[in-house]
């Protein structure tokens, strides 16, 4: 049996407040939020990157993380472009600083893992994963999901096992088809 400690970071990205928490087999650690307030554009993105850097550095998570689990976008929301930028900055920071896999979880699967209901509300999730904010509660769900996904924790809840199974059985990307080559060997 390995003596290494698995650390999973759960991240709930949002434009005004991003929830962060990491989890080991000993439980949740260091719940935090990145507040961006009224920042916009590159000021917001820079603040998010610097905040991610500080969180990962202060918590000693540089290259010490097994998996990062981040909530995917909700296509029903507004400001999808800005949220995509912020999420991209978070993923880039995690990729560079942690050098570990990043698992993106659709919002409906996050809700199902937490409550068994894909239409659960933030209040429903906070009842099962209580914290100071709904962003941290979501991050806690994601970190817990990551530990189950890695096989570091077992679940007796059928709906949680179904979520993990569906994430593990996502279809693999197909190899791109070869384009026909022209006269000089260049794809046309």
The answer to whether 12 touches 129, Cβ cutoff 8 Å, is: no
Nearest to 84 by CA among 97, 96, 71, 65: 71
- Residue 184: the pLDDT is 58
What is the set of domains in the chain, with CATH numbers? 8-168 (3.30.420.10)
Cα-trace Rg, the chain: 18
Element spanning 12, H or E: strand 8-12
Q: In this predicted model, which residue has the larger pLDDT, 3 or 112?
A: 112
pLDDT in tens, 1-31: 445 678 999 999 998 999 999 999 889 999 9
SS3 70: strand
Q: In this predicted model, which residue has the larger pLDDT, 77 or 138?
A: 138
Mean per-residue pLDDT over the chain, rounded? 89
Q: For residues 49 and 132, what is the distance between their CA atoms, to the nearest angstrom?
A: 23
- Residue 60: the pLDDT is 86
pLDDT in tens, 35-65: 999 999 999 999 999 999 999 998 988 888 9
- Residue 99: the pLDDT is 87
End-to-end Cα distance, the chain: 53
């Amino acid at each position: 049996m390995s003596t290494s400690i698995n650390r999973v970071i759960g991240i709930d990205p949002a434009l005004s407040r991003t929830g962060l928490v990491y989890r080991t087999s000993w439980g949740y650690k260091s719940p935090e939020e990145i507040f961006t307030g009224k920042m916009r554009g590159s000021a917001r993105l820079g603040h998010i990157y610097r905040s991610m850097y500080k969180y990962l550095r202060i918590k000693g998570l540089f290259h010490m993380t097994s998996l990062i689990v981040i909530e995917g976008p909700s296509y029903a929301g507004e400001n999808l472009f800005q949220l995509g930028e912020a999420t991209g900055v978070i993923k880039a920071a995690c990729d560079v600083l942690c050098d570990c896999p990043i698992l993106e979880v659709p919002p409906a699967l996050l809700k199902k893992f937490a409550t068994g209901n894909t239409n659960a509300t933030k209040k429903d999730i906070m009842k099962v994963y209580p914290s100071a904010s709904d962003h941290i509660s979501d991050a806690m769900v994601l970190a817990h999901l990551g530990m189950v996904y890695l096989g570091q924790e077992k679940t007796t809840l059928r709906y949680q096992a179904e979520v993990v199974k569906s994430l593990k059985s996502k279809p693999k990307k197909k190899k791109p088809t070869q384009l026909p080559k022209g006269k000089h060997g260049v794809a046309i």
